[in-house]
Amino acid sequence: MNAVCVLKVALVMSCFVHKIISGSCTPKLEKSLLEDLRSMTMKIKRGTEEGMNQPDEKFSAFAASLTASKTLGAGEIIKFNKVWTNIDDDYNPMTGIYTAPKRGVYYFSSSVMSQYDKTLRVFLCKNNRRIVAVFTGYSDTNMATLNMVLELKKGDTVYIKQDGPQKYIYSESQSNYNMFSGYLIR
């Protein structure tokens, strides 16, 4: 379709140039070429607008929260059990693991809260490899948030995992203090 558009534009332009130079482009041909150009412009515009509204062949997004406080075991993957969004079920709340459905660039975010006067340290992990950590600190209840953009291959896994002696996570079923979410950017 792009080649046809270029050809039509070239024809209209050549007609006008020819008319200016020789004065011999007929009004009927001129009108026909202009109508073709207008029609092609509308088709291109509609195609662009329609293309912007078309869903990707495979989109993935999830958001989940933790509904209860707990003392995490050493190296435990946090199972964010209340699922808010899980397009195509790529996040598994039973394991706490997100599995990439296709190669792409993904955005992940997690917020965690420690129990009163306790600490918490967790990592965002990709395929058993620590990527980035957050630590909540020592006083009162503290929150920490991490954000990361990762390039993933199909089948790569991402999850939030406890590490070290800091293992106390606080939550309430109606407050959703602890969240894990992610989505495919492109």
pLDDT confidence of residue 115: 82
Report helix, strand or coil for 5: helix
Burial of 167 (0-12, 13-18, 19+ CB in 10 A): buried
pLDDT band at 147 (very low <50, low <70, confident <90, very high): very high
How far CA 78 is from CA of 18, 33, 75, in Å, comes to 73, 65, 9
Report helix, strand or coil for 1: coil
- CB contact set of 135 (below 8 Å; sequence gap of 6+): 119, 120, 121, 144, 166
| Alpha-helical segments (H) within the chain | 2-22, 27-53
Q: Which amino acid is at 138?
A: Y
Percent of the chain exceeding pLDDT 70 equals: 69
Containing 168, the helix (H) or strand (E) segment is strand 157-169
Q: Which two tokens stand for residue 101?
A: 């459905």
Query: Over the range 115-124, which residues count as b (16 or more CB within 10 Å of their CB) and which as e?
Result: beebbbbbbb
> What tens digit of pLDDT does each residue of 9-59 get?
555 555 554 554 555 566 676 666 667 667 766 666 665 555 445 554 688
Of 114, 177, 175, the closest CA to residue 140 belongs to 114
How far CA 159 is from CA of 7, 23, 74, 125, 162, in Å, comes to 53, 72, 15, 5, 10
Per the prediction, the chain carries an average pLDDT of: 81
pLDDT confidence of residue 47: 59
> What tens digit of pLDDT does each residue of 109-130 get?
999 998 887 888 899 999 999 9
pTM value is 0.68
C-alpha–C-alpha distance, residues 60 and 90, integer Å: 7
